[in-house]
Structure formats: structure tokens, C-alpha cells
Amino acid sequence: MTEIADSYVCGIADAPLLGDTIGRALDQAARRWGTREALVSPSHDVRWTWKELAERVDALAAGFLALGLERGARIGVWSLNRPEWTLTQFAAAKAGLILVTINPAYRLSELEFALAKVGCAALVTATAFKTSDYMGMLNTLLPELATATPGQLQAARLPQLRAVIQIGGPAAAGTVPFEQVAGMGGARHRDELAGLGRTLQFDDAVNIQFTSGTTGSPKGVTLTHHNILNNGYFVGRAMRLTEADRICIPVPLYHCFGMVMGNLASVTSGAAMVYPGEGFDPLATLQTVERERCTALYGVPTMFIAELDHPDFAKFDLKTLRTGIMAGAPCPIEVMRRVNEAMNMRDVTIAYGMTETSPVSFQSATDDPLERRVSTVGRIHPHVEVKVIDLEGRIVPRGERGELCTRGYSVMLGYWDEPEKTAEVLDAAGWMHTGDIAIIDAEGYCNIVGRIKDMVIRGGDNLYPREIEEYLYRHPKIQDVQIFGVADARYGEELCAWIRVRSGESLTADEVRAFCQGQIAHNKIPRYVEFVEEFPMTVTGKVQKFLMREAVEAKLGLKAAKTA
């Protein structure tokens, strides 16, 4: 009798972990690839080599020290994708500071919560973008700013915040202009910076990222140099990046996708970071890929859909593209096929992970068969362990569903100042419990079949929305679809589909159900079908199904069965 293997995998490594801080990695990049382009942002007229980037970072880091920021202090950055964001990322790491990445979509109460939670001593902020008046919000939150001496703020609501550093203009009262900070550091601060370079440890915290959390307040995921530098490095290796590559990065820098898989994959491989704009725009992305001859492109599925469906898509020459990453949300198989063929991304990879794991733990390889790349999230990353467990915490056999747990160098230090919340997800043996439902097959490929919280229990049957979504993506008139559960008095939950129809097409609920008849089990056919223009999303492209559920239940007056 053949013994069935357990759902446990450990990543075999073709290279050792890096024992460096982010600052030392940048210094090494400047030595190795000094004259090659490091950062390109056409809309900001920036085109810096690795040597120029490193020099600007050193000057800014010395300026941070001159402002009185000390090792371990938290510095927030609240901006969309700009060169100043990346300078702040690397300079904070060099100065021994902890970078707090703040969602550019945050408004007053969210911003106040984030800054207060981790006790930010400084904030680097944009002035404005579209409908976001960042300085206006800050002046509301910090009325003392208008009369403060720059760098010496004393605010009642945020007593630890001392400096507001403003990107762009016009200069607001009480702020320190970003472009002036680099000139503030003197010889003493340069000496201090050199000393920090020798004493900073790679296990020091370097980044706090707030999870978007569907319930409760966001939690501050605390990550080290070792966590994110290595994750960026191995993400780059999976794509076979070299100094000849140019990565188009339209995903947000404030999220791991941009700052780790983009910026830190670049600093460890020599690839150029190319920013097509501050916020995502499908046309600007396509234009930038063509003009800058990008070899890699990143995005969440909705971004790739917007690019592929742009009316001018066929006009662009994308033949320089080779690889890239689709991640951040489940990747529809049909979209993956179109990216592979129509965008010339033959070596495109799928990546899976979470902020708490730096983020990537699974990634497909460039030479995986297409069928594997479009139907799984690939295999385990080097130096990482994963197991799939049942509700009792036991490892399940290969091919069975269960909760995915991750262990290794990539697991966070914890949630900032929340030991109880940390203990809920990080167990005594070092396993991070992801809340994702996964299957690992006999060859070690992983398929994410849903979230524990997304799973729909209809009349005692466990239904997995991802499975039904994948089937509905085959319909030629459906551009995008989301399946979720809503309350039902008889079954406890019923299925609801929100569908975005392709431009110029029309579709009815009966047609959708007819498409499912005889193809998928009757209990998987959505009872409710709604046609929408868009889905509620986080800035990083994650669909917020809980908001969709609330909207449908309110609209239709749905209530769950009464329980004893």
C-alpha cells in the first residue's frame, strides 16, 4: 500500500539567505552596478543610477539624523508612488529608523490611529493627489502645525510627532520641505551614519505595515531587514532578474508588493525600478512599458484586466516584456492566459503570501508548465516551511483542504504593541496561521481555494467561492466576477454573484444560471445575481467581500435563520 504524504513542504534553496541590512545591500548595489539605471520615474523627470540613488539616500539619512531622529524611532510615509517615497524607504533603513507605510487612501481618523498607534516621530507626506488634500487633513488633525517651528511640532493629539516633512509644494507653515532635508546633515551626522552602518543588525525592525483587516482596527505588522530584504531577493531569483531587467511597478509602494517585491527585488538583483505614475493608470502603464522597454510588469488581476481591455491595447509594442508578477488577489485562469499570450509575458509568475510573511511564501517558476502557472500559486519559496492543517491543528494528507501555516525567516516579529493579537496568529512553534484555505498536491504545488472567513456554509455544505468564480470566468460576456455568501433563513447562507459584464455586452441572471446548469453542482449555482460597475476594493486590489455582503443583505432585507 502506498503511503499518502502529508501536506508539509520545505523550500530547497539554491542560494543562502542574505545576512545584510537594507543599507548595506544598497551600498553593494552602488558598487556593483553604479552607472546602471536604478530608479526611473518619467512623470517626475527622474532617471538615477545606482550610484546617484545611493548618494541621495545617504544625504537624506544624514538629514534625518540632523532632525533629531534616533535609532528605532518611527517615521511615517504618506504618499503615492514617487521617487521621494523610495529615498525615504532606503534612508530610513540606513538611519536605523522604522518606516511606517501609510495607505494613501487613509483619511483623518485612520491616519491619526496609525500615527498614534506606533508613536511616529516624523511624517513624510505628499501635498495633494486628486481628491486627497494631505496637507489640509494634517492641518485639521494638527492645528498647532501652522504656528510651529519646523521640526519642533508639539501637537496635543499626537504628542510624539515632531516633524512633518512635505513633498512638493507650495510649502505649508510648520513643515520641513523634503528637498531641504538632504542638506541638513553635517560631518557629524555623516560620521553617525557610518557608525550605524556598522552596528545595525539585520534582525532589527525596519518596517511597520498596517493590515487592511476586514474587522477591527488595522494591526501594525512589524518586519525586519532580514524579513523583507531576503524576500525581495528570492522573489527576484524566481523571475531570474538581473541588472539587465527593468521592472514596471504600478502597484502601490506603501504595500509589500511595491516596496519589497519591487524595490527590494531590484536592489538585490540590479534591475531598474520604473514607476509609470503616482496612482495606477492602465494607459500610462502600457505607455511606460513601451517607452522604457520594461522586461517585467507587476499587478493585481484587476490591473491586468484594465490593461488588456484598454481600447488602445493593440497599439502598444510590448515585446520587451518577459516576466512579472500577478498577485495580491486570486488570479483568474483566463486572465493569466491572456497576460501570457497577448502581453508577451511568457515567464510571468504567480505569487502568494501575506504582509505578515514579508510577503511571499509561494511563487510559480518561469519554467513551470503554463497549466501549472495558471492553476496554482506555484511551489514553496526557498528557506520557507508550510503545512496545511485541519480544525484540530493536525497536518492533512496531500490533496486535502485545510488552513495554510507558514514558518521561517519571513515571518514577522509580531503586531506592534499587540502581544495578544500576535499570539492569536503566531503559535509557540513559530507558525503563522494565515486564515487561507489551501491544497498542496503530490508535486508540491499549492492552490488557494479561499479564506476561512470567505467560505460559505450552505445547509451544512462547505462552498468555496474561488471554485465558482473560476468557472464563471469562462463565460465570454463576463469580465470580472465575485462570489460571496449572504444570510439565508433556510440554509444559513446562500450564494450571491456580483458580475461586471464586458463593455458592449448584456447579460441576465437567468443566462448566468443557465450557463451553470449541468456544469457545476446545483448548490454552487448562485441564488442571487447582481450586475455592477465595480467592486469595493482596498488600494492594493483586494476585493472587500464583507462590504458586498452587507450591501446585498441590506438591499434585500436578508436575515440568517434564528439559532438557539
Q: What's the total number of domains in the chain?
A: 2
Least confident range of 166-170, 267-271, 295-299: 166-170
Q: Is 223 inside a domain boundary? A: no
Q: Is 383 inside a domain boundary? A: no
Q: Is 357 inside a domain boundary? A: no
pLDDT band (50, 70, 90) for residue 469:
very high
The cell for 471 is 468557472
**To which residue does cell 496531500 refer?**
398
Q: Is 161 inside a domain boundary? A: yes
pLDDT at residue 179 tops 80? yes
Q: What is the mean pLDDT of the chain?
A: 94
CATH of the domain at 170: 3.40.50.980
CA angle 63, 69, 71 (to 5 degrees): 115
The three-class DSSP label of residue 519 is coil
| Count of other CB atoms within 10 angstroms of residue 214 | 14
Please tell me what DSSP assigns to residue 259: I
pLDDT at residue 563 tops 50? no
Q: Is 191 inside a domain boundary? A: yes
DSSP letter string over 361-413? Answer: EEE--TTS-HHHHHHS--EEPTTEEEEEE-TTSPBPBTT--EEEEEEETTS-S
Bridge partners (DSSP) listed for residue 49:
37
pLDDT of residue 539: 67
pLDDT in tens, 497-540: 999 999 999 999 999 999 999 888 888 999 999 999 999 987 66
Q: How many residues does the chain have?
A: 564
Query: Which secondary-structure segment (H or E) carries 488?
Result: strand 478-488
Cα 8 → chain centroid: 25
pLDDT in tens, 26-64: 999 999 999 999 999 999 999 999 999 999 999 999 999
Instruction: Decide which of 176, 210, 244 is a domain's last residue.
Output: 210
Rg (CA), the chain: 24
Over residues 547-560, the mean pLDDT reads 91
pLDDT at residue 459 tops 90? no
Phi and psi torsions of 246, nearest 5°: -135, 115
Q: Is 218 inside a domain boundary? A: no
**To which residue does cell 516633524 refer?**
163
Instruction: Decide which of 159, 186, 210 is a domain's last residue.
Output: 210
Judged on CB neighbours under 10 Å (0-12, 13-18, 19+), 184 is: middle
105 lies in which domain range?
A: 22-35+46-210
Instruction: Decide which of 157, 187, 210 is a domain's last residue.
Output: 210
- The CA distance from 241 to 558, in Å, is 51
CATH of the domain at 506: 3.30.300.30
Q: Is 180 inside a domain boundary? A: yes
The amino acid present at 376, given as its one-letter code, is T
Q: Do the Cβ atoms of 560 and 493 come closer than 8 Å?
A: yes
pLDDT at residue 215 tops 50? no
Q: Is 546 inside a domain boundary? A: yes
- Cβ contacts of 261 within 8 Å, gap of 6 or more: 231, 232, 235, 298, 325, 327, 351, 359, 360
The cell for 266 is 531590484
